[in-house]
Amino acid sequence: MNPDFPRNLRVLTDHYKSVAEVCRRLDLNRSQFNRYISGRSMPSRHVFKKICDFFGVEEYEIFLPHQEFLKIVGLKRNQPAADDGFRPYVAYLDQLVRRSRGDLLDYEGYYFEYSYSMTRPGLILRSLLRLSGNAGFTTYQRVENMARFGAAGPRVTCKYRGMAFYLNDRIFLVDYDSLTGNEISQTVLYPNYQTRLTRLNGLKLGVAASGRREPLCARVLLEALGRQISVKKALKSCGLFDPESPEIQPDIRSLITNRIEDGAHHFRVVSEG
């Protein structure tokens, strides 16, 4: 057994009031969980993924050397308490993310995300995004394949993890590149006002993965796929597409085209109405 796994798991567990609380939230047997944190047993594949999702860590991260793991999760020993001047910001965000939970329940599930690629100008990027509940918060993961759809060769995968907020009739998504840690992006979406959730339109602000690292803004569309899908099949549908590709519906293409109308002073979401 990897000796760092139980040590890292104990660090994550210490974020909560007790082991009993963690077991209750995870719906796991406490005596069995104690075997994990003592290093006497390893969880099954299903339980292991459940634990990682609950604590919001990548599966590979929990096996990292202990000191490296502490740096990643920001839990350095003997770290001084946060400056009092920072507390109001933390308190506000904590309250907002918890208050958003109820408003975002109906949005949980899988989506195809469409936008013009910031890294490969002129090509449309279709990626897979999953919005889900996690320990009282609403979080999401987005997986991008930066290779051309249908092209031979290896996939070029980018992964992002983020949190969702619902504030004054708008949905805010803020994420970071979980593989490189060198990017934060933000998306603002209109909520769904229809009986059936089909699409969400908005704008995304990010940074091009190039030497110049230019800040860019692009129109974005999320196409709802449902709560239960074949993830493997959906991922095979992701990649970069030419704008005229038959894989991209014409109405989706028109909604994500980045143009500014004559006389306009701002970049706006294109309405489907």
Under DSSP, the state recorded for 42 is -
> Residue 61 has what pLDDT?
84
Look up the CATH architecture of domain 100-256: Beta Barrel (2.40)
**pLDDT tens for the 273 residues of the chain, in order:** 688 899 999 988 988 888 998 998 888 999 999 999 999 999 998 899 889 888 878 888 888 888 888 877 764 344 444 455 666 777 788 888 888 988 999 999 999 999 999 989 999 999 999 999 877 789 999 999 989 998 877 777 889 999 999 999 999 999 998 887 788 999 999 998 888 899 999 999 998 877 778 899 999 999 999 999 999 999 999 999 999 999 999 999 999 999 888 888 888 888 765
Query: What's the confidence (pLDDT) of residue 85?
Result: 62
What is the per-residue pLDDT for 111?
Answer: 98
In this predicted structure, what is the pLDDT of residue 76? 39
Whole-angstrom CA distances from 272 to 28, 107, 251, 267 are 45, 19, 9, 16
pLDDT number for residue 77:
43
Please give the angle made by the CA atoms of 10, 12 and 14, to the nearest 5 degrees: 70
Structure tokens that stand for 70 in this block: 């502490």
Q: Are the C-beta atoms of 25 and 135 separated by less than 8 Å?
A: yes
Estimate to the nearest angstrom the gap between the alpha carbon of 132 and the chain centroid.
9
| Predicted pLDDT of residue 1 | 67
CA pair distance 185, 204, nearest whole angstrom: 7
| Contact by Cβ (8 Å): 204, 115 | yes
What letters, b where the CB count within 10 A reaches 16 and e where it falls short, cover 22-60? bbeebebeeeebeebbebeeebeeeeeeebbbbbebeee
The residue among 58, 61, 71 whose CA lies nearest residue 5 is 61
Q: Where are the domains of the chain?
A: 4-73, 100-256
Count of beta carbons in the 10 Å neighbourhood of residue 128: 21
Q: Which CATH superfamily is domain 4-73 in?
A: lambda repressor-like DNA-binding domains (1.10.260.40)
> Cα(173)–Cα(8) distance, rounded to whole angstroms?
28
Long-range contacts of 227-232 (CB under 8 A, 24+ apart): 227/108, 227/109, 227/110, 229/110, 231/110, 231/128
